[in-house]
Every structure is written in structure tokens, then in C-alpha cells.
Amino acid sequence: MNMQTTDYLLKRYEEHYEIEDYQGGVPRWCAGCGDNAILTATQRLCRDENLPPEKTVFVSGIGCSSRFPHYMKTYGFHGIHGRALPIAEGIRMARPDLNVFVNTGDGDCCSIGAAHWIHAIRYNMNLTVVLHDNQIYGLTKKQASPTSPIGTKSNTTPTGSHLDALNPITVTLGVQNVSFVAQAVDWNPESLYEIIKAAYKHRGLSFVRVVQRCPEWLPKVFDPFMQDPSKILLLTHERGLAPSAGLSKLYHNQEEHDPLDRDNAFAIAANPEFLPVGILYHDPKVPCYEDLRGAGQARSIEMIEQGFNAELDKYTVWPEGVSADGQTGE
């Protein structure tokens, strides 16, 4: 064995990661919170895909779900309320070599961050976006969110919410340039992992809504779906989810749905009788904005410094007789 081969094998060995390599701080979510299941599935994905922690970044806004970056031993950015997506887009433009994930909640994404959500779908940048949807504001102690079911009693709607809940799947499907939309439930780890894995492998903006439990503020809202598997519609297709024998045995209610059929995806998502699980839409041909704009082009230190100084010069008050380049006039 020559030295070049030895070096290669050593490098491959060093690049092998375990679950522990992605485990950051100890999660402080409530026992039974669906965020824990999403975290486990994501850490498993990072391990199975052997993602270098130094080449991986998690971005979030504000809310229970947005503590996600604290629990990943990778780069992370805990942003302000509703602004996770533009931050992630900026990272993607500057560093297209990174694996960029966004974890956001139903309030963070669908309320204060709604405008960013819509335009992020339209830009279709290569981001894996996971919406943690427990249908309530959890961190601020039980206020109705845009996805709260009609009649939900909360601190802001003590007599029950008056409006039908916003459907994140149908909204996303209605945006121009949408390329990947899927839905999972936190209480089925197999399908949750497979859907997040498919989202990561898609090049473009992958939008995954995870229907997740909040044991503290809405403890029973998803009990009908957990106790009666026939209320779950499992979507299968050769270009979508290929369920195992165990998953098929659990969920008898299945539909062969082509992820390229956007109209049928919308009809499935809008049907109130079932909760669809699987990949609703997937079009890999939609162009990514960073490709159109030549993101990550090589920039020397000198170029960065010149650009930075040029911006500062716009606000500099120069002494009388001194020009912007520091030269003294005659």
C-alpha cells in the first residue's frame, strides 16, 4: 500500500461521524414534545449522510422549535422572530458549500415570518426547511397561532378561535417556483426520518411540515390521528416515499400519488378527512436562485476590504479639504 492510499484511508476514517458528534446542549423541551423526535431524526440524518459539523449550519427564529441550533454541535444562528429564512438565504449566497437547515415554528414562519416564507419558496434556494407545527404558541405560554384549529381556546382566544386554520401545505403549493413539499408526523419516527432525508437530498428549497405534539398546551389535539391510523393517508410512489412492510401494516389507508402532480397534491392537502404523510410535491427541475446569481464566487481579501470600506465611506464625514481617498487638496 503506497503512501497516497494510506493518506486517503486515514482521511476517510477521520471523516466518519457518530451521533454524538452532532449532539450539542441538553434539550430543554418538555417531555413528550415533538421537537425531540425531530431533533433525533435530524441528528441521525447528519450521521448517515456523514455531514461535517463544520460544514453544516442550523438557522432558527424564535419559539420552542427555534432552540434547535443550541442542541446541534454544528454551526448555528438563533435569529430574531420570523427572520430565519432571510438569514439562511444570506448564508447560502455567501457560502454555497455549506449544508444549510432552517427550523421554524408555526408562529415564527406562518405569522410574523409569512412574507419571508412566501418569497423563500419563490427563490427556491438550496435549503432544508422544517416547520415544527404544534398549532399553538408554546414558548410564550399558549396563544393561538395561524395554524390553530377553529375553536381553539387560548390566552388570546379564551372563547375559542374564530377563523379556520391556515394550511401551510396548500399555501406553499400555491407559490411560484415551489419545488419540494412534504408532511410528516412526529410520532412515527420511520416516516419522519425518511421524509427529512428526502428533503435534504433535494436540491432546492425543501419544505417539510412536521405535525408535532405540544404536551403542555395542546396535549390531546392529535390523539384522533394517533389512536386511529386510518385517519392518516400514507402517500407512496417510486419517486416519493417507499414505505417498509411495518409502515404499510400500520397505515392501511394509502394512495399512490405522483409527486409531480401538483393539482392532486393540493387536493390531498386540502382534504380535511385525512392527514397526509409523505411527499406531496417534488420537481427537481426548478432552478435555484443562487445558481442564477452566481453565489459564492471567489472574493479575495482585498475585494472584501474594498467593498467594506466603500460602504463605510458613504457615511464618513471628511475634514474640509480632504477627499474620500484621503488626499489633501491644494
Question: What pLDDT, in 10s, does the model give residues 158-202?
Answer: 999 999 999 999 999 999 999 999 999 999 999 999 999 999 999
Domain-embedded: residue 10? no
> Per-residue pLDDT for 36 more than 60?
yes
Q: What is the count of structural domains for the chain?
A: 1
Domain-embedded: residue 11? no
User: Which CATH number is 55's domain given?
Assistant: 3.40.50.970
Condensed to tens digits (0 to 9), the pLDDT of residues 88-145 reads 999 999 999 999 999 999 999 999 999 999 999 999 999 999 999 999 999 999 999 9
Domain-embedded: residue 35? yes
Structural domain of 276? 17-298
Average pLDDT over residues 224-245: 95
Domain-embedded: residue 181? yes
**304: Cβ contacts below 8 Å, ≥ 6 apart:** none
Domain-embedded: residue 3? no
Domain-embedded: residue 244? yes
Average pLDDT over residues 317-322: 78
Domain-embedded: residue 150? yes
Average pLDDT over residues 61-87: 96
d(CA 237, CA 264): 13
Phi-psi region of 249 (alpha: psi -120 to 50; beta: other; left: phi over 0): alpha
**24: Cβ contacts below 8 Å, ≥ 6 apart:** 69, 70, 71, 72, 73, 74, 76
Cα within 13 Å of Cα(236), Cβ side: 14
Cα dihedral: 103, 74, 32, 83 (round 10): -20
Residue at grid coordinates 422572530: 81
| pTM for this model (two decimals) | 0.87
Domain-embedded: residue 69? yes
> Per-residue pLDDT for 226 more than 90?
yes
